[in-house]
Amino acid sequence: MNEELWDFPLSENINIKTRARKMRKSVEYPIGVEFAVMGFVRTHEEFDEVIRIDNAPHQGTPGTHIHFLDKEPRKEKEVVEHNPDIKNPMQAIDYVEKYLTSRYPMLL
């Protein structure tokens, strides 16, 4: 199935990338779309991914979840939070933008 990619720069140091792919509607993909929204910040010369929201099943559990890649891992696991309020890519983009602008205001 076709995958679509979008790029939303917030500044020269903060960027949001989104990918979405049509899927057959199911329990795992109730809106018929698999998506991931990734937030990046520039550290030195490269961009590092610091947050990712996706709706791919995680540890056997369907639903949208957030990977906080810039927080200290707990017991060598990623910091992941399930969030049933985020149901589509636009809501995920809004969440990532608010997260990046509040956590990294010095890079705007």
Q: What is the pLDDT of residues 70-105, one digit of tens each?
A: 987 766 677 889 999 999 999 999 999 999 999 999
**Whole-model pTM over 0.95:** no
Alpha carbons 9 and 38: distance in angstroms, whole number: 12
**45 vs 65, more confident:** 65
Q: What is the CA radius of gyration of the chain?
A: 14
Question: Contact 86/92 with Cβ under 8 angstroms?
Answer: yes
**How many domains does one find in the chain?**
1
DSSP 8-state class, residue 73? P
* Statement: residue 1 has pLDDT above 60: no
User: Which of 28-32, 56-60, 90-94 has the weakest average pLDDT?
Assistant: 56-60
Nearest to 2 by CA among 39, 41, 34: 34
Helix (H, G, I), strand (E, B) or coil at 61: strand
Angle at CA of residue 63, ends 2 and 25, nearest 5°? 45
Where b means 16+ CB within 10 Å and e means fewer, 69-81 reads bbeeeeeeeeeee
Q: Which domain holds residue 77?
A: 3-107
